[in-house]
Every structure is written in C-alpha cells, then in structure tokens.
Amino acid sequence: MLDGLQEILYTLRMNKLRTALTAFGVFWGIFMLILLLGAGRGMQNGVYNDFGSDVLDFIVVYTGTTSVAYNGRGVGRYIELTKDDIAAIQQKVPGVRFAASENQREGISIVYDKKNGSFGVHGVPDDYFKIKESIPFSFGRKINSIDDDQIRKIAVIGKVVSERLFGKDVDPVGKNIRVNGVVMKVVGMFYDKGNRGRDSERVYIPQNTFQKLFGTSDKIGSIWLRPNAGVDGFELEKAVIKLLQQRQQVSPEDKRAIRSFNMAEPAKMVNGLFLAINGFIWFVGLGTLMAGIVGVSNIMIITVKERTREIGIRKALGATPFGIVSTLLMESILVTAIAGYAGLALGVGLLELVAFGLRSAGANLPFFQNPEVNFQVAITSIILLVVVGALAGLVPALKAARIAPIEAMRAD
C-alpha cells in the first residue's frame, strides 16, 4: 500500500502542471457548487424570514361591504362577524384545529410614567397564540383562558412598545401601563418579526377585556383559523367562506363582502420557486463539476498512454490486472478527493465569512440572510465527487489492464 502511494506521488510530481490543472478543474467545480448552494440557501432564509414569526398554514377571514344584491338585501351593506360565527365554524366545518377572533384599534395611547406612545391594541383569546405559536416571548407569558374569562386587566406588549416605554433590555413584566387611560399590568413581552418587525408595535389584551374597554359587545374584526395536520387548507378556507356567506346572507358571487387570506398560498408559491432555483443551481453546479471530472478522465487516458511500456513490463513481471487497475484508480481518487475537499473547505469558509460579516455589520437584507450549506449536502457532494472521480479513472485503468505485455513492450 505504501509503495503504491509513493509511486502515485512520484507520478504526480513528475507531471506537476498537468496535475495542478486537473485538480483545479475539480476544485473549481465543487467550490462553485458550494457557493451556489449557499447563496440559494441565503435567499431562501431571507424570503422565509420575511414571512415573520407566523406558521405557514394559518387562514384569516375578514369582512367588507357587499357588492352584489342578494335575497332582497342591497349593495353596500357592511358585514359584521360575531362570536357565534366562530362557534358555527367549529361545529359545522370539520378539520379546524384552532379558531380565534381578533379585534383591533389603531393609534391607542399607551403610557408608562412620563413616557408614552401610540400603538395598535388587539383583543384576542388564548387560542390566538396557539395559531401564532412561533412568536417568541422574551419575558413573561402569553394570554390564557383564565385572563379572558375573568376579564383581567393584563397586557402582553411587543418589543418595540417595551423599548419605547421602558428602554432596551428591560424586563417589563409586572409593570403597570395605561391603555387608553385604563391601568393594565404587563405579563409578557414578545418579538414578532412580521412586516419587517412592525408587528412588534402591538399590545395584546384579553378579548373580553377589549370588548369591555372599547364597547364592541360580541362583534369581532377577523377570524384566525388553523387546520388540523393533513387537512387541505384551501378546501377548509372554501368551506368556512361558504358557511359565513350563508349565515350573513351574502351572495356566493360576492368577493368583497367576506374575504380571506391563506398563508399556504404564498408559501406554496415560494416553495415552488425555490424548488426551481435549487434545481437550476444543482444543474449548473454539477455541470461545472462534471467538466472537472471529464478533465480527470482525459488526464488518466494520457497517463495510461504514457505508461503503456511500464505497464507491459509490470505485467511481464507478474503484476495482476487488479494491481494495475487499483494503482491507476488510486491516482484518480487521490486527485479528486484532495481537490474536492479543498474546494469544499474554501467554499464553506467563504460562506461563513460572508455570514459573519453580515451579522457583524448588523445588515438586515430583505432577501438574503445567513448563507449556509447543509452538512449532509456537503458530505454527499464529496462522496459523489470521489465516486465519479473513480469512475472517470476506471475506463482508462481497465483498458490498461487488458494490454498484452508484448504489445505494451512494442509501444512508442
């Protein structure tokens, strides 16, 4: 084994320029593949980050004014949803995992001591945070069912609200704030990166507390839904809209009276887009890599031709076909493995350097964040590279093993 390795190294040293150019072709192929995959992942991270802290299967139903006359009711009637509509959805539409209402008022004065600000106040039940389960809470807790049942004067505030009233990195839990003139105790602080962080400019209070504070009785502004696992969210959305149209006496042709937003729709489009982008990246990267592998195969053909007389002498002295093939294959594998690993290491290192630079500079690019390469993908690339490199050297090696000693001795 050691003798064979020494022979391979000697052969490579005797052809330094050729070996270097061959290795560079392989190195450049894997290097570009890693960079392309990392850039694609960075784009994907940036786009998904723009979705905010929300899960990707929620549905929001909201209302407007009627645009089609129906059952003797005219155009321009404003549709108001109530808690009874949520109860009807839970009873009559199968597949609903969570259903929660949301009321909101914008521009409400929030005061703490001598500091104040104008923010949106949202009244929600505890199930609301089961739908928005991905929102991280830095301090405290979420609203629960007891808060709602007992109409507690408590609030959870966004990070922006907390920094305006209390300063940065301050735990606001336990402090009293005035919401529209009413004293409420802060029980939690969250950060919602939706709408580029603007969703953190909110104050959430229990639904019943909101209704009492603003006098909205049982009226609700919108309904948030989340389907059970495995349930088609688009079919669920249609069933809910149909039910609400029947309850509110709205024409099935009226697209303005009862509307909805299904997060699965943009998520599906983005997933399809990145599937196509990743396919293109792999196509280009593997094409570049194959160009390097073809270079390895060509070099091995030249090597066999140059060493024909040597191979003939070795066979005449008793060398087996396996010994000849294995020596030539080891040369091919050694070049591709070392050059491929160097390309992988440099590519991953460059991506880490870019990611570190973005984090250090505090850059928050809208469509590019944290470029990275999946470890499994990187290892698969190396294994694929070595296997293809071995196959590239196999054909010339088998050809060398079939050369008759007498014919090899006659070779020029």
pLDDT tens across 282-327, in order? 777 777 767 767 766 666 666 666 666 666 666 666 666 666 666 6
pLDDT reported for residue 374: 72
pLDDT reported for residue 113: 87
pLDDT band at 142 (very low <50, low <70, confident <90, very high): very high
Distance, in Å, from the CA atom of 222 to the CA atom of 211, rounded to the nearest integer, reads 14
Considering only residues 175 and 335, tell me which one the structure prediction assigns the higher pLDDT. 175
Residue 183 has pLDDT above 90, yes or no: yes
Residue 225 has pLDDT above 90, yes or no: yes
* pLDDT mean over 193-202: 81
* pLDDT mean over 73-90: 90
pLDDT reported for residue 275: 81
* pLDDT mean over 218-232: 90
* pLDDT mean over 374-393: 72
Distance, in Å, from the CA atom of 314 to the CA atom of 29, rounded to the nearest integer, reads 35
Residues 261 and 23 sit within 8 Å (Cβ to Cβ): no
Residue 157 tokens read as 């505030």
* pLDDT mean over 152-176: 92
Residues 90 and 96 sit within 8 Å (Cβ to Cβ): yes
Distance, in Å, from the CA atom of 342 to the CA atom of 358, rounded to the nearest integer, reads 24
* pLDDT mean over 60-71: 89
Number of C-beta neighbours around residue 200 at 10 A = 24
pLDDT reported for residue 155: 95
State percent of the chain over pLDDT 70: 77
pLDDT reported for residue 52: 58
The mean pLDDT value of the chain amounts to 81
Residue 95 has pLDDT above 60, yes or no: yes
pLDDT reported for residue 6: 57
Residue 9 has pLDDT above 70, yes or no: no
DSSP result, 93-147: STTEEEEEEEEEEEEEEEEETTEEEEEEEEEE-TTHHHHTTT--EEEE----HHH
Residues 36 and 343 sit within 8 Å (Cβ to Cβ): no
Phi, psi for 285 (deg, rounded to 5) = -65, -45
Residue 189: name the closest of 246, 140, 230, 243 by CA. 140
Residues in CB range of 13: below 8 A, 6 or more apart: none
Residue 205: name the closest of 119, 132, 143 by CA. 143
pLDDT reported for residue 366: 61
pLDDT reported for residue 409: 56
Considering only residues 410 and 268, tell me which one the structure prediction assigns the higher pLDDT. 268
